Chain A
Amino acid sequence: MGEKLSIIQIQRKANALREDIINMLEAAGSGHCAGSLDLADIMATLYFNLMNIDPTNPDWADRDVFFLSNGHTVPVQYAAMAEAGYFDKAELLTLRKLGSRLQGHPERSRLPGLENTSGPLGSGLSQAAGYAYSLQYLDDSKHRFVYCVMGDGELDEGNNWEAAMFAGKYKLSQLVAFIDRNNIQIDGNTEDVMPLGDLVGKWESFGWHVLEIDGHNIQSIIDAVNTAKAITNRPTVIIAHTIPGKGVDFMEYDYRWHGVAPNSEQAKNAMQKLRSLDGKISSGNYNE
């Protein structure tokens, strides 16, 4: 079982993940900034508080499992895994490089601790639901939970709604899904590209318990997951409202940062933001 951090420690950890992400993406020269940054709080809370895991024994039979559906945000998962001790942090800088275990999109068979392969959008919830079905109906394993993080843009994919219907029908109560509601996708704002409309109503009508939270509030994330765990007759989806690019002011809210990496100047500026709490404190290291 990994360490269970306090809220302030998780906040610091989330910030560390953001720094890792900037370093990784700058070194890689490509990748996806916005979603990776905005998921840092959720990922830190899962890996350092909520999930029952053992980084030294990734396939531990009693673990909770995590499925990333929007695989392009995997830098934040790699960062969380490295910070948690699944592998050495130095390996983070191999992201997207030839021979690396840290593929541009996650590949299960390359890196212990990953539960699935994803990237093509819309299938992670199905995979998570399959695992949750097994726990609930085939293994009589009621104490384990299955977490799935999805993007909001990927909800355009019909496969998600097949999975939503499936999980609703079978009342997969050990399944806890997050929607990263950052309102952006590659071509623009989600409501311009393809309106998602009433997400709460949609998921409720599929038989899910729906919670809406501030996806950067650690306490809210913990509370929502604890609520989800207490609901034993249906799956729960947590619609986490987030700010794309969270933590780096010139990336925030800008859909153009969905799929690009910072150059060295931008990375330096980003790091300054992250290390000065957005300019609120001085940071000697980054003031030239």
Chain B
Amino acid sequence: MNNYLLNPDIFNDDVKQEPIRAGFGRGLRAAGESNDKIVALCADLTESTQVHLFRDAFPDRFIQIGIAEQNLAAVASGLARAGKIPFAVGYAAFHPGRNWEQIKTTIALNDQPVKIVGSHAGVTVGPDGATHQMLEDIALMRVLPNMIVVVPGDSLEAEKATRAIAENGKPSYLRLSREKSPIMSTDNSPFEIGKAYILREGSDVSLMGTGIMTYQLLVAAKILAEQGINAEVVHVPTIKPLDNQTILESVRRTGRVVTAEEAQVAGGFGGAVAELLSTDLPTPLLRIGMLDRYGESGTPHELLEYFGLTGQKMAEKIIEFVHTKSQYHREY
């Protein structure tokens, strides 16, 4: 059942790290090589979002939009109507932060295969502070009918995810992070839209992560093992459609669930899992993430510590959660 190949160096201090957005940049260029219908649009953030790799390879298929996210979304819609596969790229804080209505009306309701790429999401964007730390994008995007929502766990997976959404024929949201993060997967690790992956088998609690938080959960699981707690770790890179089957099977084995995300848990990944469990398999649930508050300035690592999102900090919380007798667990 667990055939996911983890990076063997994952717990080494010198584990290779790379920003998730770098994988997107490579994936987009590769997708562009195999499909000439792919075009890229960017809102004045071409290098930081890594779209420059595509732009340099295919200058005729790159469209500079300027700082105009509403236009970014709706122009992409028009290009899709003309038969193209547009990747509309910006910072998540503004895209979909500013242009959600255009995404809803001209892309999702209009059912056009535009790929919305929101980079620099989550608190780990760091010193720029709360205005630039997009925490609500998962909630904003997963509530839209027709929309696919993907949050890759590392740069290798981002590369695969980019190529997958390029060819899925659907409106899709790809959430990327700015900061370097450990590469937890390998070139041979699977990625399929709509699939969750069991990275570590366990029997006491299911730890479910999305994006960079899955790595932190693997660290937490190692700490928990030292405390005699056998945690299962499930990586959930697709938040919509959620892999109900894999999630529910894991929960049936363990009877306790933890979710972790670098986003608002309300409406976010934790919200999605809570919705599933409440109807299909009510189970004690601890949701870790941003608890109805904004972020603030700091280094990425300081912020992960401050908001309790490191493996060590989460392990402390999970120990408490596993030992509580209550069926109910409410963080805020």
Contact = CB atoms under 8 A, between A and B. Distances in A.
A265 interface: no
A118 B81 CA distance: 14
B101 interface: yes
Nearest to A158: B70
Nearest to B36: A138
A175 B238 CA distance: 38
Contacts of A65: 81
B109 interface: yes
B75 A107 contact: no
B105 A129 contact: no
Interface stretch (B61-69, B151-159, B322-330): B61-69
Contact of B81 (A131, A158, A162): A131
Contacts of A107: 109-110
A116 B81 contact: yes
Interface residues of A, number: 33
A222 to B, nearest CB: 25
A123 B102 contact: yes
Contacts of B71: 126, 129, 159, 162-163, 165-166
Q: Which 3 A-B pairs have the closest CB atoms?
A: A130-B78, A126-B74, A134-B82
A101 to B, nearest CB: 15
B144 interface: no
Tell me if B's interface is mostly helix, strand, loop or mixed.
helix
B77 interface: yes
Contacts of B77: 116, 123, 126-127, 130
10 contacts: A107-B109, A107-B110, A118-B106, A120-B101, A120-B102, A127-B78, A127-B81, A134-B78, A158-B70, A159-B71
A159 B105 CA distance: 14
Given A116-B106, A117-B106, A130-B74, A135 B60 contact: no
Tell me if A's interface is mostly helix, strand, loop or mixed.
helix
Interface of B: 39, 60-61, 63, 65-66, 68, 70-71, 73-84, 86, 101-102, 105-106, 109-111
B79 A123 contact: no
Contacts of A158: 70
A240 B285 CA distance: 60
A180 interface: no
A166 B65 CA distance: 7
A128 interface: yes
B70 A130 contact: no
Interface in A144-183: 158-159, 162-163, 165-166
Nearest to A137: B60
A131 B82 contact: yes
Contacts of A120: 101-102, 105
A108 interface: yes
